[in-house]
A and B are shown apart, each in its own frame.
Chain A
């Protein structure tokens, strides 16, 4: 008998929302994560969560339009319409669970302005919105008594007869491998920011779920669409929330000019992230930066607002750069932040297509940053990521439960476990050739950050792909130096590097395939958007030789025909 009806891999917001939905739908559900759920990277979402439900003029249609425009028309409009329509109810659900959203004077939920949005529709908890929602979600998991495999690292998805039936995982506290079976599996394991160096992402964001699904035959979509956040702190690259600009912060160059006037005369600092990041990079390149940075200036907001509404970033600038934002502008620059691409799903979060336009194992669902529905297309709007996690997390939990209930109890072979054990034993047996995981990871991260950042071109992307291929070659002989069982992070980092290299390869291939500039993918050698040839998604599937086989899928357009994108 299967251990669970539904197994959720990843326990951030999408994963926990899926687990709660599955629990409420009556499934025997469990979550599995390589960290404790409250350590998940959803914590880092600072600014808020979008929903059109305040103000006489705002509407779901306006939210959809902003998101479509933000995506540079690459988002699938049916999925975006669904997400934006679900948003208001999901905000209420979160509030009922216990989230302590900021209120207005009447004691109702209050909003703030955010990038790329026509109206102030971002609900928030100071600048710790992600953390505040994540911890409340975990409270609900404790209340429901959902089984949680904490610090379990997934090495394989079990696929038999085209059906996903569970995972093989390392229990990190003992080093033991286990097979955990389920009638449906939900991937909610986040993005792959660490394939870039530096990145705002936590060290755990290593694309595990993306690579696991890809290796199991699922389709990856728009992997080239990588978001660079406009305001990451000089030095260690830590994120300073868009909430700062939402509250009215300026971006200044070395001459003290609000340079966004020249790039986005209407929205200025609150243009979409790809536009702002490109503007900053241009200023820096043309010599109007200081030490590779421009400045974020909040001084005019006043000490009180800075200390309360921007408490976390105020402290972060103080702790990590020694800068008091009340009296000084902070040096910032664009930094890798988010990946719009991921495992292709339909709006029901299924990774397989009954019509066969794309492929994936039946019974495998995906939600959150690991997935590409696609609601973000070429560029994600701030505060739409938290929304995506809860809306599609809920769908995934419900759909996976429905799928599981239709499945017969098929016994799973023990071969998967034995295979994984043999593979790990072989890793431990590799001779020490002097190569180190950290060195390979750094080489990959540097290459990706150099050639797949804000500006790209053919030669650069070819060079990055060459680096990745070379690293994949070296990876086949990379040793695991520490041989212990208990909490062996040397082994874990080794496996993570393998996942990241797979993702990096598809990011490069996607970038090379897309012969235009759209959203975050800006090519210096092809600076125009080409709606005739490229109003479509790039697609990657693993080939027989282990290399990606590229293809494309049409974009779903409902009622917003592509227009010139001006902010």
Chain B
């Protein structure tokens, strides 16, 4: 079949470096992946094309790049899955990271974030003579985050990182989960305290991009949500994010639906007068347009609220 590749090129050694798109039309077998096609271009058309790749089997994590706007492993993406015959396939370097040349990005930011979560086992006390005793279930639970191949796809497409470089990001947080949930680790409490700070678990916007682009099913956002639970249980409800979760649940448990006004008030803190005052102009604008839902105690119960309440009670009793 014919492949039309539209590849982002950037040569830092050009007299005036700037990114441009270059088209390649090549004839390839039906089963080709995006990586196979790029290798063919590099070997037969243009040896100056720079990209990283090695295993061709989605295990080394070298070849993450954006295919038609979304981060993917080139070796795991069949051409026929992203474009009908003859349709162009756009191939660009990963996002949120500095481009070095063509499809090669500087992974310095990625690794700095991994380093920031102290990514190594910190056992409590002395090592046992033999192995640590741990349930198979607890180890199986770690296989999913351990399956992370550090390709950077989630960091590339993370919408929170895009606006705030301080965010630890999905890969580092999934890595952090791997230690917090490891029964052999003795530093979980300290880890959770750090993750409760600015840049940690509460900065995720729950956009699901990392879950969608992860090529090996780590689902970083789900790991972040598990970390949030652990933070609330172990460290407490000390951040707007945690209070947001708590207010949300309290409101739904009581009335069967969300009290949006109190959600904002609770999240910032009921006695956080300066912050609440700073939100007053927004509140007034919403009020003027008739879109301010009435807060507690005017927030009425929905029909069937007691059933919703019972679900919460049952959940609470099961947790204990």
Contacts and interface: CB of A to CB of B under 8 A. Distances in A.
For A41, A102, A110, A486, the residue with the greatest tally of chain B CB atoms inside 10 Å of its CB is A486
B56 A107 contact: no
Contacts of B121: 96-98, 136, 139
A550 interface: no
Contacts of A302: none
Interface string A89-126: 00110011110111111111110000000000000011
Contact of B146 (A100, A105, A438): A100
Contacts of B140: 102, 308
A110 B13 contact: no
Interface in B246-287: none
Given A95-B131, A100-B142, A202 B50 contact: no
A44 interface: yes
B100 A107 contact: no
A185 B102 CA distance: 34
A434 B61 CA distance: 33
Interface in B104-160: 104, 107, 114-115, 119-121, 123, 127, 130-136, 139-140, 142-143, 146-150
B13 A485 contact: yes
B48 A482 contact: yes
B57 A486 contact: no
Interface in B43-100: 43-44, 47-48, 50, 52-62, 76, 78, 100
A381 interface: no
**Interface size class, chain B:** 35 or more
A83 interface: no
Contact of A135 (B52, B134, B146, B182): B146
Contacts of B6: none
Contact of A486 (B62, B101, B146): B101
B48 A36 contact: no
A24 to B, nearest CB: 14
B184 interface: yes
Nearest to A316: B57
A316 B140 CA distance: 20
Given A238-B56, A436-B43, A102 B139 contact: yes
Nearest to A322: B31
Contacts of A437: 47
Contact of B59 (A44, A103, A482): A44
Given A102-B136, A319-B58, A487-B100, A96 B127 contact: yes
Contacts of B78: 319
Contacts of A110: 136
B57 A489 contact: no
Interface in B1-52: 11-13, 31, 42-44, 47-48, 50, 52
A109 B139 CA distance: 11
Given A438-B43, A482-B48, A238 B101 contact: no
A384 interface: no
A142 interface: yes
Contact of A487 (B50, B53, B139, B143): B50
B60 A202 contact: yes
Contacts of B59: 43-44, 128, 131, 312
A458 to B, nearest CB: 33
B146 A142 contact: no
Contacts of A103: 134-136, 139
Contact of A173 (B48, B60, B100, B123): B100
Nearest to B148: A135
Given A38-B61, A142-B115, A98 B184 contact: yes
A39 B52 CA distance: 10
A487 B131 contact: no
A319 B56 CA distance: 12
A243 to B, nearest CB: 14
A509 B184 CA distance: 51
B139 A489 contact: no
Contacts of A140: 120
A202 B184 contact: no
A203 interface: yes
A538 B132 CA distance: 44
Interface string A121-164: 00001101001100110011011000000000000000000000
Contacts of A102: 136, 139-140
B47 A39 contact: no
B174 to A, nearest CB: 12
Contacts of A106: 133
B290 to A, nearest CB: 52
A287 interface: no
A256 interface: no
Contacts of A128: 59, 143, 146-147
A203 B56 contact: yes
B120 A44 contact: no
Contacts of B13: 484-486
Interface in A239-260: 239
15 contacts: A38-B60, A38-B61, A39-B60, A41-B55, A43-B59, A43-B149, A95-B131, A96-B131, A128-B143, A135-B148, A142-B115, A315-B58, A319-B78, A482-B47, A489-B47
Given A107-B136, A319-B58, 14 more contacts: A35-B60, A41-B54, A96-B131, A98-B182, A105-B136, A108-B131, A131-B147, A142-B114, A142-B120, A202-B54, A235-B31, A436-B47, A484-B13, A490-B47
